[in-house]
Amino acid sequence: MNKKTLERYRKMLIAKQKELTDSYMINKNYGKEAHADQGAQDLADQASSAYNKEFLYSLSNNWRVILHKVQEALLRINSDSFGTCLECEDKVQKKRLDAVPWASFCINCQEQKENEKEA
């Protein structure tokens, strides 16, 4: 992969990293504020608050997973292994990297991994 293309992916990954970090901090602060505002709530408000906390936690957990993948992709750019499938070592398709620049696997290997999870 040429330097210009790698730099484009690096910028995409850094932007995604910033987006995820900012979103995580907003949700973290919201969770603290929501906890502080709980005071005297009726049962329905408590249930709604608990659901919102759980929902935000699951979102932030998913964001952490993606953030980790983004950071790994940035490391692969630095080690000249970006765009190579970690499973079969073929090139990851350009369309796939354009859509998901933190992709670690080519489409075939990713589908195989997903099928293994389902089984």
Q: DSSP secondary-structure letter at 62?
A: H
Per-residue pLDDT tens digits for 26-37: 766 655 555 555
Indicate where the chain has its CATH 1.20.120.910 domain(s): 1-80
* Distance in angstroms (rounded) separating the CA atoms of residues 71 and 1: 19
The pTM of the whole model exceeds 0.85? no
Q: What integer pLDDT is reported at residue 33 of this predicted model?
A: 54
Per-residue pLDDT tens digits for 78-116: 999 999 999 999 999 999 999 999 999 999 999 999 999
- Which fold does the domain 1-80 belong to in CATH? Four Helix Bundle (Hemerythrin (Met), subunit A) (1.20.120)
* Distance in angstroms (rounded) separating the CA atoms of residues 21 and 33: 18
Confidence of residue 63 (pLDDT cuts 50, 70, 90): confident
